[in-house]
Structure 1
Amino acid sequence: MTSPRPLRADAARNRARIMTAAHEQITEHGPGVSMEQIAAASGVAVGTLYKHFPNKTDLVAAVVAAAFTAVAEDAEASLQRADQGSPAITEFTGFLTRLMDVAAHNHAVKAAARDLHADHDAHPAMREVEARAAEALTRLVRAAQEQRGLRADFTVDDVYLLFSTFPADQPPAARERWLALVFTGLTAS
């Protein structure tokens, strides 16, 4: 099996512009935004968009995968800083704060993942990204527990529970209060 040829420079630029525009358009208008709107926002012809993404599901899946990849990279960077001596609980709560901020500002990508079934079961790339994030978070949680900063019964599954119950639709002050209360409950006694 041969690996795909790298994109020409102009094709790579077009793909990057399409991804940026798709993210912005989905964030602003939701997953119902048309391919024509995305093409116009990216400054490419609709045919060019379809060369890169044969259908809307593929485009939305790519946008969702990019968002999830950023979360995995953040988790890995938090773990790396903890491995280099930063308090693991500080890195963990910082990661959660950033994750909740993304959730508060990116409802559309979450809706797109739900609506178009762009989840890890449907897309193998999502499985890989989720595994990366889970591995980094598992190690970060364990380090915070070993340093006695995080309650001993907390698990990575609890991160998903917190994320699913985060009051993303509330004003910033309410979200900050929610996080403060959660952090108080997470710290080891």
Structure 2
Amino acid sequence: MSPRADAVRNRQKILDAAREQITRSGPEAGMDEIAAAAGVAVGTLYRHFPNKTDLVTAVIAEYLGHVADDAEAANARLAAGATAIDEITSFVERVLETSAVDHAVKAAARALGAATVDEAAESRARAAVEPLIAAAQKDGDLHPDVTVDDFYLLISSAPIDQPPEARARWLTLVFRGLVGPESLKRSENIGKRRPPSR
């Protein structure tokens, strides 16, 4: 394995360990503990991330990048013939579940003054979600006044600190106010899908 490939692998191990340790211990999670959980030397961790704020910022950026990737994949499935409202509901459900997992990391980011927004990733996600919304509205499955900003509001106000059953029920109720009458039957399955593994 080349040094660069090894460095990439170590960086990912550090990010995964940081997410796990911060979820468990909050902003007090120590860099030594994170390095140990990642199976790397403390010096290796500091070469990648000079301080904890940089590390938490990178964890948040990775999460937002995954959201953007997911939105783009949903848009690609739409272009291949998938139903827009199905892609929207599935996407929002997945974002809700991953947001619940990363809730503690975001709290730590705010406590440490780390960035909680990645403008490039947000721009990618927005560009991918907009066609989904437009297609669902064209199909009559989504109210015509719903916007991308409404979906950001939806996620930002979600009860991500509640148990999975409560989140699923909340999502079902919220979507009943967003979708058109023709898609209410399909929305009954929202929240019943298993969240993706990470």
Settle same-fold status: TM greater than 0.5.
yes
Q: Give the aligned length.
A: 179
Structure 2 regions of 5+ residues with no counterpart? 182-198
Structure 1 regions of 5+ residues with no counterpart? 1-5, 121-125
Query: Whole-Å Cα distance in 1 between the matches of residues 158 and 44 of structure 2?
Result: 38
Residue 114 of structure 2 is aligned to residue 117 of structure 1? yes
Compute the TM-score of the two structures, normalised by the length of structure 2: 0.84
Q: Which amino acid aligns with 1:140?
A: L
Indicate which of 58, 73, 76 corresponds to 2:72: 76
Counting only pairs closer than 5 Å after superposition, residues 80-99 of structure 1 correspond to structure 2 as 80-99=76-95
**Percent pairwise identity:** 55
Q: Helix, strand or coil: the match of 1:151?
A: coil
Cα offset, 1:7, TM superposition = 5.4
Q: Helix, strand or coil: the match of 2:50?
A: coil
Deviations 1:88-117 (A, max 9, x none): 000001101111111222211221332233
Residue 17 of structure 2 is aligned to residue 21 of structure 1? yes
Indicate which of 175, 184, 187 corresponds to 2:179: 187
Residue 141 of structure 2 is aligned to residue 145 of structure 1? no
Q: Helix, strand or coil: the match of 1:152?
A: coil
Aligned to 2:57: 61
Query: Whole-Å Cα distance in 2 between the matches of residues 139 and 95 of structure 1?
Result: 13
Compute the TM-score of the two structures, normalised by the length of structure 1: 0.88
Q: Quick one: structure 1 residues 14 and 171, their matched pair in 2 at CA, closer, same or farther if it must change by over 3 Å?
A: closer
Query: Whole-Å Cα distance in 1 between the matches of residues 107 and 75 of structure 2?
Result: 28
Deviations 1:17-59 (A, max 9, x none): 2122112112222232111111111111211111111111111
Aligned to 2:158: 166
